[in-house]
Amino acid sequence: MATDHPIDVRHVASLARLELTEEETATFQPQLDAILKYVESLSALDVEGLEPMAHPVPVLDVLRDDTPLPSLPPEGLLANAPEQAQNQVRVPKVIADA
């Protein structure tokens, strides 16, 4: 495992769309360094030839008949949206100005 690449908390937070304060960054950096140092203990294990176990039980595609069933009522779903207009969720502008 890479030990020469300690986690860059600010960068990774940015990838995860988290805007951390300076104080949070300073608190999390040593905590996450300690956690990563601990989990590196797994590098000592021989895992050659093992299949990664993504799920505790075999997960297969489950198909049902292509029959329309009732859906959740739109008004109940829209009521949870921070902003709504014209029976739709209102979102900030996605495409920047030219």
Four-point Cα dihedral 72, 74, 79, 82, nearest 10? 110
Query: Do the Cβ atoms of 14 and 24 come closer than 8 Å?
Result: no
* Contact with other proteins (CB under 8 A) among 4, 66, 67, 76: 76
CB of 40 to other proteins, least distance (A): 8
Asked if residue 85 binds other proteins (CB under 8 A), the reply is no
Asked if residue 19 binds other proteins (CB under 8 A), the reply is yes
Asked if residue 22 binds other proteins (CB under 8 A), the reply is no
Closer residue to other proteins (CB): 47 or 98: 47
Name which of 66, 73, 98, 97 is nearest 87 in CA terms.
73
